[in-house]
């Protein structure tokens, strides 16, 4: 798919002076830059969302492992129980 940003400059009418930019080319360049920026931001956003979902899954898995492990630790009668999720050591 060829977008407006990818069209060669020769497709657009050129001014008589080769140094002078074609009418509207500055606006087209600004639009192209914004369009490419939004595409890149969309890609970055998608990667961030996937990374967050992966990390959430990993944290849940680790919490389940910790929870199961603490349930299976044999306790000696009279030993105070420690809540590993409490944060106080």
Two tokens at 6?
A: 């990818």
Comparing C-alpha atoms, which of 34, 14, 16 is closest to residue 24?
14
Query: CA angle 26-30-31, nearest 5°?
Result: 115
| 1-40 per-position pLDDT tens digit | 445 555 454 444 444 444 455 555 667 778 788 889 999 9
* 49 touches 19 (CB < 8 A): no
| 39-88 per-position pLDDT tens digit | 999 999 999 999 999 999 999 999 999 888 877 776 777 777 677 677 65
Q: Where are the alpha helices (DSSP H) in the chain?
A: 25-71
Single pTM value for the model? 0.49
């Amino acid at each position: 798919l060829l977008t407006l940003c990818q069209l060669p400059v020769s497709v657009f009418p050129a001014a008589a002076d080769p140094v002078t930019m074609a009418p509207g080319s500055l606006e087209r360049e600004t639009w192209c830059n914004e369009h490419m920026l939004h595409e890149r931001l969309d890609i970055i956003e998608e990667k961030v969302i996937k990374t967050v979902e992966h990390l959430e899954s990993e944290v849940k898995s680790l919490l389940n492992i910790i929870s199961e492990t603490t349930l299976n630790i044999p306790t000696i009668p009279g030993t105070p129980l420690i809540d590993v999720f409490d944060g106080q050591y």
